[in-house]
Structure 1
Amino acid sequence: MERTLSLTVKVIGDVRNDSDAEIMSSEMSTIRSDAVLQEWRESAAYWQKHSDTIRSMFSPVTQALIDEAGIVAGQSVLDVAGGAGEPSLTIAGIVGPTGSVTCTDATAEMVFAAEREGQRRGLTNVLFRQCAADSLPFESESFDAVVCRLRVMFFPDPLAALREMLRVTKSGAAMSFVVWDKSELNPFSYLITDVTARYFDVAPADPNTPGAFRFAKPGALAGILREAGANEVKERVLKFQIGAPISPEQFWELRAETSETLREKLAMLSPVQKDLLAQEAQEAVREFFSNGQMSIPAQMIIVTARKQ
Structure 2
Amino acid sequence: MELEIEQIRDQQKETWNKFSPGWKKWDELTMDFLKPMGDEIIKLISPKNDAIVLDVAAGTGEPGLTIASHLNGGKVISTDLAEGMLEVAQENAKKRGIKNFETIVCDVCELPFADNTFDAISCRFGFMFFPDMQLAIKEMTRVLKPGGKIATAVWNVPEKNFWITATMGTIGKNMEISPPPPGAPGMFRCAKEGFMSDLFSQAGLKNISVNEVTGKLNCKTTDVYWSMINDVAAPVVAALSKADDTLKEKIKNEVYLLVNQKYPDNNVIIDSSALVIYGEK
> SS of the counterpart of 1:58?
helix
Matches for 1:45-194 after TM superposition, within 5 Å: 45-95=21-71, 97-194=72-169
Residue 289 of structure 1 deviates from its aligned partner by 5.1
- What residue number does 2:240 align with? 266
- Which residue number corresponds to residue 205 of structure 2? 230
Structure 1 unmatched runs, 5+: 1-24
Cα distance in 1, alignment partners of residues 93 and 48 from structure 2: 20
Question: Residue 281 in 1 paired to residue 252 in 2?
Answer: no
Q: Which amino acid aligns with 1:109?
A: G
Alignment size in residue pairs: 281
Structure 2 segments unaligned to the other structure (5+ residues): none
Please report the TM-score for the alignment, with normalisation by the length of structure 2. Answer: 0.91
| Post-superposition offset of 1:249 | 0.8
In the alignment, the residues of structure 1 paired with residue 98 and residue 254 of structure 2 have an alpha-carbon distance, to the nearest angstrom, of 40
Bigger Rg, which one: 1
Q: Percent identity, please.
A: 25
Residue number among 171, 184, 201 corresponding to 1:196 in the alignment:
171
Check conservation: 1:180, 1:213, Cα contact below 8 A: yes
User: C-alpha separation between the residues in 2 aligned to 1:270 and 1:119?
Assistant: 42
Task: Output the amino acid matched with 2:31.
Answer: R
Aligned residue in 2 for 1:8? none
Q: d(CA) in 1 for partners of 2:158 and 2:46?
A: 29
Secondary structure of 2:277's aligned partner: strand
**Structure 1: distance between partners of 2:222 and 2:94:** 30
Post-superposition Cα deviations, 1:202-250, rounded to whole Å, max 9, x if no partner, equal: 2234341111111111111111211112122222222x23233542211
Question: 2:230 & 2:132 partners in 1: Cα distance?
Answer: 28
C-alpha contact (below 8 Å) 1:288/1:295 kept by paired residues: no
Alignment match, 1:31:
7
Q: Tell me the secondary structure at the aligned position of residue 110 of structure 2.
A: coil
Alignment check: 8 A CA contact 1:65 1:178 kept: yes
Tell whether the 8 Å contact from 1:78 to 1:103 is kept in structure 2 after alignment: yes
Q: Kindly tell me: are residues 275 and 207 of structure 1, through their superposed partners in 2, closer, same or farther at Cα, counting changes over 3 Å?
A: same
- Counterpart of 1:279, as a letter, is N
